[in-house]
Amino acid sequence: SQQGEEDPQALSIQEGENATMNCSYKTSINNLQWYRQNSGRGLVHLILIRSNEREKHSGRLRVTLDTSKKSSSLLITASRAADTASYFCAMDTGGFKTIFGAGTRLFVKA
Amino acid sequence: GAVVSQHPSRVICKSGTSVKIECRSLDFQATTMFWYRQFPKKSLMLMATSNEGSKATYEQGVEKDKFLINHASLTLSTLTVTSAQPEDSSFYICSASLLAGQLGTTGELFFGEGSRLTVL
């Protein structure tokens, strides 16, 4: 399969709660990236974590990477209604090819 | 920096016609661009890698004659859906990658806003 796997497929939470999304992949990677997509729009890059890094923060975002388990997680703290979107992990496997996960649709209720 | 513009954002056409979608890098030169197709509520499926001045590299299962890709300059790649059929209706997105360090980037992809094609 071209895709990595993400879970959950969909997540509905209240504003102020934390949202956690997980991503698993099968091949070795150079880095893993997380993107956000609002409905009907292009993707926006959120954060990149390299294969030799284990955790990275950016504002309300926290990303972890476990290369031994081939998995990553994205945590959004203190979620807001404006965080409602689809979130994709993307694996850089080298050779200019980036493989996208199936995505998690997040809905934050005001 | 690193802005990618995609045009048109929406297009409706009749079956049998050809549709061209443009992807431009506005403030950088992109030697490599990527074209994706996205079905509703699904992930991005890589269709092809577009290399400036050479033939595109297509993914398995993507018809080269159906989806023509041209990367004639360092700032423009085009995707032409030839003899479009209703099953070609989809959301098409392009992206460009920069080498880590260019424009202060870290190797991530920059995406256009996507083009929604509807074939009647």
Instruction: Average the pLDDT over B56-76 and give the result.
Output: 92
Instruction: Average the pLDDT over B29-55 and give the result.
Output: 88
**Which of A42-51, A89-98, B49-58 bottoms out in mean pLDDT, i.e. has the lowest?**
A89-98
pLDDT tens, A6-62?
Answer: 889 999 999 999 999 999 999 888 899 999 999 888 899 999 999 999 999 999 999
Instruction: Average the pLDDT over B40-69 and give the result.
Output: 91
CA-based nearest distance A7→chain B, Å: 13
How far is A15 from A37, CA to CA, in rounded Å?
Answer: 19
Instruction: Average the pLDDT over B92-100 and give the result.
Output: 81
Instruction: Average the pLDDT over A74-101 and give the result.
Output: 90
A64 — pLDDT class (breaks 50, 70, 90): very high
Beta strands in A27-77 (DSSP E): 31-37, 43-50, 55-58, 61-66, 71-76
Compare CB distances from B111 to A30, A42, A103 and report the shortest one's residue: A42
Closest residue on chain B to A4 (Cα): B43
A99 — pLDDT class (breaks 50, 70, 90): confident
- pLDDT confidence of residue A109: 96
- pLDDT confidence of residue B99: 62
Asked if the Cβ–Cβ distance from B91 to A40 is below 8 Å, we say yes
B97: three-class secondary structure by DSSP: strand
Interface test with B, best of A32, A92, A100, A105 (most B CBs within 10 A): A100
Interface test with A, best of B4, B43, B106 (most A CBs within 10 A): B43
B85: three-class secondary structure by DSSP: coil
Q: How far is CA B44 from CA A52, B105, B116, in A?
A: 26, 22, 14
- pLDDT confidence of residue A1: 44
Asked if the Cβ–Cβ distance from A40 to B114 is below 8 Å, we say yes
CA-based nearest distance A19→chain B, Å: 19
A3 — pLDDT class (breaks 50, 70, 90): low
